[in-house]
Structure 1
Amino acid sequence: MENQGRASVLAHRDFRLLFGGSSISALGDQFTLVALPWQVLRLTGSAAALGLVLAAMALPRAIFMLIGGAMVDRLSARRILLLARGANALLVATLAGLVLGGAVAMPAVYAIALGIGMATAFAYPAGSALLPQLVPPSQLASANALFMGARQLSLFIGPAMAGLVIGIHAGHGTAEARGLGMAFAIDGASFVFSLASLWLIRTATDRQPHATGRGVLGDVAAGVRQIWADLPLRAFMLYAAVVTAFVGGPIQVGLPVLANSRMDLGAASLGVLMTANGGGMLVGGFLSRVVARRAAGRLGMLVLCMDTMAGFALAALALVHSTAYGALLLAGVGVLAGIAQIAIVTWIQQRVPPAMMGRTMSLLMFTFMGIGPVSAAVAGSLLKLISLGALFVGAGLALSAIALGCLASPALRGIGTARPDGAPA
């Protein structure tokens, strides 16, 4: 039955176009995600500069995401996605040209990172709104499963491919610049496939754009009120925000520095670490349904216990000098994250009314994308004062302590139990 459901989803021409173009683009994104931190470290040698570049990319993405959602509601999701990905393609191609031409400098890197963040703020809500227009409601679950699997697969194979492209030209000067420039160029080329697929898609909203009856601020306020009134959902949002603040930035900044300063394969080591984490998340995604079923109403307890274990694994990165050992630890963290992520998203989808789903998910993404870059900038600055090992130990033990402390919260422990009216909680 599962295979029939997937075949039936892929029978839709427009869905195949979106899925194919988006999957190739997601794979290309991994080349920039590996090459950009490496480029910054080669230009500056500064973890603080890396944190600022990540913040320049992520802050506008978080701030403008809600505005992007409002634009999608008023115009065509396909056209907004075309414009956003077109802007991304131009920006990444410009960066590739600067690197290959030996003219790259940090002001240009900051400006391009800022532009990529703004374009992505419109691409995320547009992509989320376009998918339901291409398949019947009964097939949305299969469609989302295919997209999630493709994303995890890109996380699994993309960083290793990027590390290989950069690592072939390992060293200093022109040779390494060629490898980094090629990585950015591959990402730029992947956007061309996405743009071509979007150009061929036709939806009714292209001809009949619609406007919402309420402004974007009113929609955001209604979403916040809905979440605040739902105690378990509110508790999870606050938990996610605290975890992102204490853990997200140190890991995002720390891994490139770890590969650059300690490991034997350089950029290839960073690719291996990211690949191991993506592979773990892919495995966790496959295990999630079985694990969540066995949790039988104790999803909150399960997530908090897994986060506790993940924290200890992240703290152990302080002792890592081997690419293989680091990959093993991050693969384990990925398995735990994959299980928790899919289980929690499924719980939210079952709990939240369809009319509020977009705003709820946007606010959840806003929580990660708004706090994450600030955390990354702080972590980069902290590395001027503390060692890399201390950063990993602090972040990992903070995650374990937060998760263990939250076991005392009935609202978080109760995630996944049934409401008195029989609806999922």
Structure 2
Amino acid sequence: MQTSTQGSVLANRNFRLLFGGSTVSALGDQFTLVALPWLVLKLTGDPAALGLVLAAMALPRAIFMLIGGAVVDRMSPRRVLLAARGVNALLVSLLALLVWTGAINMPLVYAIALGIGLSTAFAYPASSSILPQLMEPTQLAPANALIMGMRQLSVFVGPLLAGLVIGTGAHAAVTRGPADAHGLGLAFGIDAVSFLASLGSLMMIRLHTDDHPRRTQGSVLAAVAEGVRGVWADVPLRAFILYVGAVTFFVGGPIQVGLPVLADTRLDLGAASLGILMTANGGGMVVGGFLSKLAARVVRGRLGLMVLCIDGVVGLGLVWLGTVHRTWSGAALLATTGVLAGMAQIAIISWIQQRVSREMMGRTMSLLMFTFMGLGPVSAALAGGLLKFISLPALFAGAGLTLSAIALGCLANPVLRGIGAPLPAEAAG
């Protein structure tokens, strides 16, 4: 039955186009995710500067994410995504050119980071809103499984390749620019080229809302307010988004800043260490994605209970991560935590997509994404500043213990604990 369902998903031409273009683009994205923090550290040697660059992306993302969700609900999400990814492609191409020519400097990095943050504020809610328009509700779970599996596979392969590409800069003769400039420019260039696959596939996809935009009343800001009210009225969804926001603020930043600093200052393979760490985590998430259906069956649909227990264990793993000195020890640890995290993702996203109406999908997903994509880099800026006063092991220990404390404390909340299972209040309604 599972094979038949997945076969019907791949029989959808629009889905095949979306899946193919997203696969190449997601792999390319990993090159920038590794190269950008490495570039900042090579230019400045300052973790606080890395935190500020991540915050520069977060500021426009945080301001415009909810507006982006409202725009997606009023227009064709395909056209919004096409425009946003086109801007992203130009910015990454410019970054590659500046690094190659040795003209890159921190003011330019901050400006490009601001532009990337603004474009992704529209890209993320648009990409999350396309799938429910392409697929029947019963096909969302297998479609999400394929797309998230592809993304996790890109996280498994991409960072390792990116680390190896960047590492070539250590042996190239470069007279201008930062250390590893040759490899960094090549990494950004690969990501820029990968956007062509995504843009090409999006041009061939057709959605009903392309020619029949939704009839809307009121301003974009009024639509944003309506979306916030809708999520707030859904008690389980509200509780989950608030939980994700708390975890992201206290834990996301230390991880974003801590991993590049760990690879640069304590591990043995330089940029390759960062790629291996991210690859190990992505590979673990691939395995976790395959196990997610079995895990949900074991917990009998109580996805909230599963997420809270997993986060409690992952927090202890972060404490341990701060003590490692060898790349492969850190990779083994991150692979394990990746398995645990991957087990919950597909079921949670499918639960949200099935719960929310299409008319509210863009705004709902923008609220969810705001909690970790908007707050995460702000947290990273604070974490970068903290590293001036505390050690890296102390940063990881504080983040890990905070995660475990939040997760274990929320186990007492019956709404969060029961996400994914029918609640008495819902049954009564």
TM-score (norm 2): 0.92
2:334 maps to 1:330: yes
- 1:93-112 equivalences under 5 Å are 93-112=93-112
2:256 matches 1:249: no
Amino acid paired to 1:254: G
Q: Deviations over 1:276-305 (max 9, x none)?
A: 111111111111111111112543333222
The 10-residue stretch of structure 1 (142-151 or 321-330) with the greater mean CA deviation from structure 2: 142-151
Paired position in structure 2 for 1:296: 300
**Corresponding residue of 2:369:** 365
What is the distance in 1 between the residues matched to 2:428 and 2:204?
Answer: 40
2:398 maps to which residue? 394
Residue number in structure 2 paired with 1:145 = 145
Aligned-residue offset at 1:265: 0.6
User: 1:274 maps to which residue?
Assistant: 278
Q: Which runs of 5+ in 1 are unaligned?
A: none
| 353-362 vs 393-402, greater mean Cα deviation | 353-362
Contact 1:281/1:336, CA 8 A, preserved across alignment: yes
Contact 1:161 1:271 in 2 (8 A): yes
From the superposition, tell whether residues 203 and 354 of structure 1 become closer, same or farther in structure 2 (CA, over 3 Å): closer
In the alignment, what sits opposite 1:205? 209
Q: How far does residue 273 in structure 1 lie from its aligned partner after superposition?
A: 0.3
Return the offset for 1:129. 3.0
Q: In structure 2, what is the equivalent of residue 265 of structure 1? A: 269
Name whichever of 300-309 and 158-167 sits farther off.
300-309
8 Å Cα contact 1:253-1:380 kept in structure 2: yes
Distance 1:410 1:369 in 2: 27
The AA in structure 2 aligned to 1:115 is G
Say whether 1:122 aligns with 2:122.
yes
Structure 2: any 5+ residue segments left out of the alignment?
none
Q: Distance in 1 between matches of 2:401 and 2:75?
A: 46
How many residues were matched structurally?
A: 425
The range that moved more, 162-171 or 17-26, is: 162-171
State yes or no: 1:41 paired with 2:18: no
Question: Partners of 1:208 and 1:71 in 2: how far apart?
Answer: 15
CA distance in structure 1 between the partners assigned to 2:90 and 2:138 by the alignment: 37
Distance 2:347 2:139 in 1: 19
Structure 1: how far apart are the matches of 2:219 and 2:313?
43
Amino acid at match of 2:188: F
Q: What CA RMSD, in Å, does the superposition of the two structures yield over aligned residues?
A: 2.3
Distance in 2 (CA, whole Å) between partners of 1:417 and 1:134 is 27
**What is the CA–CA distance in structure 2 between the aligned matches of 1:153 and 1:285, rounded to whole Å?**
10
Query: Are residues 344 and 183 of structure 1, via their aligned partners in 2, closer, same or farther at CA, if it must alter by over 3 Å?
Result: same
Aligned-partner Cα distance in 2 for 1:293–1:353: 26
Check whether the contact 1:64–1:121 (CA below 8 A) recurs between aligned residues: yes
Counterpart residue type for residue 163 of structure 1: G
% identical aligned pairs: 69
Moved more, 90-99 or 119-128: 119-128
Which region of structure 1 is more displaced relative to structure 2, 96-105 or 130-139?
130-139
Residue in 2 that maps onto 1:240? 244
Q: Secondary structure at the match of 1:158?
A: helix
Q: For residue 7 of structure 1, what is the aligned residue in structure 2?
A: 7
Listed one character per residue, the Cα deviations across residues 112-146 of structure 1 (whole Å, up to 9, x for unaligned) are: 11111111111122223333444445433332222
SS in 1 for 2:403: helix
| CA deviation profile, 1:293-339 (whole Å, cap 9, x unmatched) | 11125433332221111001001111110101101111111111112
Report the Cα distance in structure 2 between the residues aligned to 1:96 and 1:268, rounded to whole angstroms: 19
Q: Does 1:21 align with 2:21?
A: yes
Report the counterpart of residue 163 of structure 2 in structure 1: 163
Deviation, structure 1 residue 413: 2.6
